[in-house]
Amino acid sequence: MAMTLAASAEDTEDTREAAPGPTYDLDRVRADFPILAQKVHGRPLVYLDNAASTQKPRAVMDAIAACYGEYYANVERGVHTLSQRSTAAREGAREAVRRFLNAPSAEEVVFVRGTTEAINLVAASWGRRHVGPGDEVLITELEHHSNIVPWQLLCEERGALLRVAPIDDRGEVILEELDRLLSPRTRLVAVAHVSNALGTVNPVREIAARAHEAGAVVLVDGAQAAPHLRVDVQALGCDFYAFSGHKVYGPSGIGALWGRRELLEAMPPWQGGGGMIRTVSFAGTTYAPPPHRFEAGTPAIEAAVGFGAALNYLTALGLPAVGAWEAELLALATERMAAVPGLRLIGTAKEKAAVLSFTLERIHPHDVGTVLDREGIAVRAGHHCAQPVMERFGVPATTRASFGLYNTREEVEALVAALHRARKLFG
């Protein structure tokens, strides 16, 4: 794909001098992430696989260590002091999620294992109740498999139809097509806030408004947005928002689903067990109100605590500052990569966040990934759980570099230099 950002060497120098850098202290931020200070194959680690999972700051490790070392016990229902402290810490994390999303109430925040589980929860609970034969669920062509397969399963079970709004050659959702596919039969529109394979930032607010006009409920997959953009679920106007802890510098195995209170209250449980009931008898069981109705069993207590610490860390740095820095890295990388012979960028939307997917002529993406790893550079190669996107662009896989708040301009330069070397190596 043709690049438009190619600048002359002089322009480039000017840009670099004028570049303000992050509005936070990058050296200090990097020092918060002990894992970054290591060598891989004798070279300084350059971690550019942040879209898959981010590294963890000391604040998150300390919060988890304090949970285990000072107050760990099972949560809820406990009269003893440690159980009450554990419960309070986990509920504090729920409040951190509420603040992070600007949700109206912490009771609308359900802890889940991650984005995947959040979407499955909505499909299994809300979906089974509201999607019937002849109904439609509308997604887009750029979704992660997590925002495709649960809807396929639901539609198959309910006799409903899955519709897909196409993307254009830049990787932007074609809004006119989305409009055309919206109908009174559309029960739900499920859309990524940011694409993991392309980096496209979707106009979620506009999509939500259009979907609501058609009478549909809107779920936003925020897995790739939460680490980069300030999310305000009230301003977005969506009905559900899902994201994962491990992509926002927190632990794996934890994430959150935010849902509008009226919707959550009307939803049946999706898993049964301890913690989600009001009363149980063999004659019949009544259920706890949200969020506990959707949290059966002993939860990931320490992970929730670490998740809250991660969100507070990110908020303290400031998402606008983080996003601005990552945008600079993305612009620099986009410009530099234009000079790598045979490099095709996959995903050139006007609005992008922190993801650069590309192919190199005559070199398989996995080989690119392996060559980069020999230089200490961690990127991902594959279909990124977005096979329909690969199909749309006619490639089996891409190499993907994805940026996080701790990446540097020098790391971008190291990536590009390594790509030039790979180019020479493979001819």
Closer residue to ligand 7TS, CB minimum distance, 140 or 147: 147
Residue 140 is a binding residue for ligand 7TS (CB under 6 A): no
The neighbour count for residue 352, using CB atoms within 10 Å, is 23
Residues numbered 297 to 326 that lie near ligand 7TS (CB under 6 A) are none
Write the CB contacts of 26 (distance below 8 Å, at least 6 apart in sequence): 325, 406, 408
Q: 382: helix, coil or strand?
A: strand
> Residues 87, 140, 186, 224: which binds ligand 7TS (CB under 6 A)?
224
> Residues 50, 86, 244, 334: which binds ligand 7TS (CB under 6 A)?
244
Shortest distance, CB of residue 254 to ligand 7TS, whole angstroms? 9
> Residues 5, 7, 31, 52: which binds ligand 7TS (CB under 6 A)?
52
Closer residue to ligand 7TS, CB minimum distance, 144 or 352: 144
Residue 357 is a binding residue for ligand 7TS (CB under 6 A): no
Which of 67, 155, 238, 385 is catalytic? The answer is 385
Closer residue to ligand 7TS, CB minimum distance, 57 or 114: 114
Write the CB contacts of 161 (distance below 8 Å, at least 6 apart in sequence): 134, 135, 136, 137, 155, 185
Within 315-364, strands assigned E span 343-346, 355-360
Q: Which stretch binds ligand 7TS (CB under 6 A): 39-47, 110-118, 200-208, 298-306?
A: 110-118
Q: Which helix (H) or strand (E) holds 402?
A: strand 398-402
385 tagged catalytic: yes
> Residues 89, 192, 233, 390: which binds ligand 7TS (CB under 6 A)?
192
Contact 171, 194 (CB under 8 A): no
Rounded to whole angstroms, the Cα distance separating 260 from 240 reads 7
Cis peptide bond prior to 34, omega within 30° of 0 = no
Closer residue to ligand 7TS, CB minimum distance, 196 or 334: 196
Bridge partners of 109, per DSSP, are 258
- Please spell the DSSP secondary structure of 241-306, one letter per residue: EEEEGGGTTS-SS-EEEEE-HHHHHTPPPSS-STTSEEEEETTEEEEPPTTGGG--SS--HHHHHH
Residue 348 is a binding residue for ligand 7TS (CB under 6 A): no
Residue 223 is a binding residue for ligand 7TS (CB under 6 A): yes
Rounded to whole angstroms, the Cα distance separating 164 from 139 reads 5
Shortest distance, CB of residue 60 to ligand 7TS, whole angstroms? 16
**Interface positions with ligand 7TS (CB under 6 A):** 51-52, 114-116, 144, 146-147, 192, 196, 221, 223-224, 244, 384-385
- List, by residue number, the catalytic residues: 385
